[in-house]
Amino acid sequence: MGCSNVAATGCSDGRYGRNTRGHNSRVLTVLFSPDGKQLASSSSDGTVRLWDTITGTTIQKWECHALYVLFSPDGKQLAIASGKSVQLWDSAIGAVLQVLEGFTSWVSAIAFSPEGQQLVAALLDESVCLFDALTGALLQKFGSCIKNISAVALSPDKKQLALASRDNMVRLLDTATGDMMYML
């Protein structure tokens, strides 16, 4: 399940300021780019949109049922997780840069490393994948034995991976070995 870029359109009816009337169904996620000039949103209508926050217009529109949308720390890439797929898009021109592969299950959470060179994806089958965000290469895959991972974070030194799950626990893993270091 990948995403495809489509032409962006909008309208203004003047009732609520500049209303571009973008999504046709419930909005699932919204997030600002690091510089605040863009806003990404995903919807149950099967679209992801990239908005200009100054003009309120749609810059890019992708057709996909995205569960997670995430800007890279520099704002140049937009990671879109949809089913068993994560694609990295150039947020300026809307072109796909990388399609990350190696997923054995649906993606449950994604995160960029603090400098944006790596992307981590947690899967519903309890595995975790670490990718090079520039080349798309799978760097590491290990089983976490943690059910229902809902959030992930990679430490600045890339030596620890934090996994949050729906059992109210946060676990820190050693990225070199995959061993659990702490349960918080």
pLDDT at 19: 46
Give per-residue pLDDT as tens, 105-138.
999 999 999 999 999 999 998 889 999 999 999 9
> Is 90 found in the same domain as 21?
yes
> Is 145 found in the same domain as 96?
no
Q: How many domains is the chain partitioned into structurally? A: 2
- Domain span at residue 50 reads 1-100
Mean of the pLDDT values across residues 87-113? 90
CATH of the domain at 125: 2.40.10.480
> Is 93 found in the same domain as 129?
no
Q: Reply yes or no on whether the pLDDT at 9 is more than 60.
A: no
Residue 159: how many CB atoms within 10 A of its CB? 13
> Is 184 found in the same domain as 106?
yes
> Is 84 found in the same domain as 35?
yes
Looking at the whole model, is its pTM more than 0.85?
no
Give per-residue pLDDT as tens, 27-75.
999 999 999 999 999 999 999 999 999 999 999 998 888 888 999 999 9
> Is 175 found in the same domain as 90?
no
> Is 81 found in the same domain as 142?
no
C-alpha R_g of the chain = 17
Q: Reply yes or no on whether the pLDDT at 16 is more than 80.
A: no
* DSSP symbols for 9-73: -----STTSS-----SS-EEEEEE-TTSSEEEEEETTSEEEEEETTT--EEEEEES--SEEEE-T
Would you say 132 and 143 are in contact if contact means Cβ atoms under 8 Å apart?
A: no
pLDDT band at 5 (very low <50, low <70, confident <90, very high): low
Of the candidates 100, 117, 141, which is a domain's last residue? 100
> Is 148 found in the same domain as 62?
no
> Is 68 found in the same domain as 111?
no
Give the integer Cα–Cα distance in Å for 132 and 54: 32
3-state secondary structure 97-154: EEEECCCCCCEEEEEECCCCCEEEEEECCCEEEEEECCCCCEEEEEECCCCCEEEEEE
- Pairing of the two strands 107-112 and 96-100: unpaired
> Is 132 found in the same domain as 75?
no
Of the candidates 100, 131, 150, which is a domain's last residue? 100
Mean of the pLDDT values across residues 81-92? 90
Closest to 82 measured CA to CA, from 116, 55, 24, 42: 42
Mean of the pLDDT values across residues 129-154? 89
Of the candidates 77, 100, 123, which is a domain's last residue? 100
> Is 113 found in the same domain as 75?
no
What is the chain's mean pLDDT, rounded? Answer: 86
CATH of the domain at 66: 2.40.128.630
> Is 128 found in the same domain as 37?
no
Q: Reply yes or no on whether the pLDDT at 157 is more than 50.
A: yes
